[in-house]
């Protein structure tokens, strides 16, 4: 193995020390050595060691100014007063002039580090803008493609409803398809609007649950109980999202559901959320959702499963499973 490869292995095996610790540690050691000259009465002398120490301190000053500006003070001050080792004891004017001159090198190194820090910030902001522009472009493309397909479904459903002599069950199913398509288009519009205007306002919270329940479905009775006051905006928005995902779960997997019960209550430092549906009077929908939830649990990152992972990171929880003839979603959100 050559020396370059050996050095690379040594560097890789060495724990990475934060730049602030290196700068403060190196500067403190250098200051202690410099202070020992007047404290112990040691006579000043020019040493070869300064040719190594000063460039190292300047490098630490620049590195700290780039990563942790406050830590650059220690090595910068060490460079400014290091001349004491050579001129002590000596005339005060000579000491002040020498320290002032050497401090210019520390100021230059700090300025170079701050300049590099500004370049790093500009690069991060440029990357963030590029990522956001790409996300907005993808959102617009998704809106256009999905809206086109959903609009085609709506046209087909509306055309089918015009056929004479349709059985009531078929006509009701077509009407539900039409209503669902219109809600999907409205959701797409709202999502793209929110992406284009990220600062338009806070996310909806438990105050919007009544409108959410009233607009859920004309064929499903939604009973809403909200007894949670003085909770944070984040907890309120999370509760709203849990209820939204639970209702979406009902719409997708329990089309025959007739009743949904929603309860949002507070118990000390926790908000408890429970969403029950009757599943339309049978267990097939509950079994289907159980399989679907387990599948998403293996894949991760979608709907209720994604919410469960988010809640676990903040000390909450979410669970879903069969309940009676339908399905129950329960969640606990820290206040």
Domain ranges within the chain, ordered by starting residue: 1-201, 203-335
Average pLDDT, the chain: 77
**Block residue for tokens 């170079």:** 112
Between residues 276 and 183, which one has the greater pLDDT? Answer: 276
Q: Are 100 and 67 spatial neighbours (Cβ–Cβ below 8 Å)?
A: no
Band of residue 86 on the pLDDT scale cut at 50, 70, 90: confident
Model confidence pLDDT, tens digit, residues 116-158: 889 988 888 888 788 777 777 777 666 667 776 777 777 787 7
For the stretch 191-221, what's the b/e string if a residue is b when 16 or more beta carbons lie within 10 angstroms of its beta carbon? ebeeeeeeeeeeeebbeebeebbeebbeebe
Q: Rounded to the nearest 5°, which phi and psi values hold at 22?
A: -60, -45
Global pTM? 0.44
Q: What Rg do the C-alpha atoms of the chain give, in angstroms?
A: 33
Model confidence pLDDT, tens digit, residues 89-119: 767 777 777 778 788 888 888 999 899 889 9
CA atoms within 13 A on the CB side of 137: 6
Please say if the pLDDT value at position 297 is more than 50. no
Length reported for the chain: 335
Per DSSP, what are the bridge partners of residue 222?
260
| Res 331: pLDDT | 93
To the question of domain 203-335 being in CATH 3.40.50.720, the answer is no
Between residues 290 and 272, which one has the greater pLDDT? Answer: 272
């Amino acid at each position: 193995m050559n020396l370059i490869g050996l050095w690379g292995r040594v560097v890789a095996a060495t724990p990475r020390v934060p730049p602030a610790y290196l700068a403060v540690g190196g500067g403190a050691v250098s200051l202690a050595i410099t202070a020992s000259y007047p404290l112990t009465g040691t006579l000043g002398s020019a040493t070869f060691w300064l040719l190594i120490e000063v460039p190292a301190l300047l490098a630490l000053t620049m590195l700290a100014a780039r990563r942790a500006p406050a830590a650059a003070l220690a090595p910068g001050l060490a460079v400014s007063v290091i001349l004491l080792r050579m001129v002590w004891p000596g005339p005060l004017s000579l000491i002040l002039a020498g320290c002032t001159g050497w401090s210019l090198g520390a100021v230059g190194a700090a300025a170079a580090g701050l300049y590099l820090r500004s370049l790093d910030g500009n690069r991060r902001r440029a990357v963030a803008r590029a990522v956001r522009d790409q996300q907005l472009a993808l959102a617009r493309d998704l809106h256009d493609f999905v809206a086109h397909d959903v609009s085609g479904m709506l046209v087909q459903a509306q055309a089918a409803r015009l056929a004479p002599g349709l059985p009531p069950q078929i006509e009701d199913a077509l009407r539900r398809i039409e209503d669902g398509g219109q809600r999907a288009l409205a959701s797409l519009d709202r999502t793209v609007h929110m992406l284009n205007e990220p600062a338009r306002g806070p996310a909806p919270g438990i105050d919007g649950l009544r409108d959410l329940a009233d607009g859920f479905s004309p064929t499903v009775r939604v009973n809403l109980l909200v007894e949670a006051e003085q909770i944070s905006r984040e907890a309120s928005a999370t509760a709203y999202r849990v209820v939204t995902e639970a209702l979406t779960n009902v719409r997708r997997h329990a089309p025959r559901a007739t009743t949904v019960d929603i309860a949002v209550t507070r118990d000390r430092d926790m908000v408890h959320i429970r969403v029950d549906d009757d599943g339309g009077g049978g267990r097939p929908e509950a079994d289907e959702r159980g399989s679907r939830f387990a599948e998403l649990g293996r894949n991760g990152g979608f709907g209720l499963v994604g919410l469960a992972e988010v809640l676990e990171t903040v000390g909450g929880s979410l669970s879903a499973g069969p309940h009676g003839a339908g399905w129950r979603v329960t969640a606990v959100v820290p206040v």
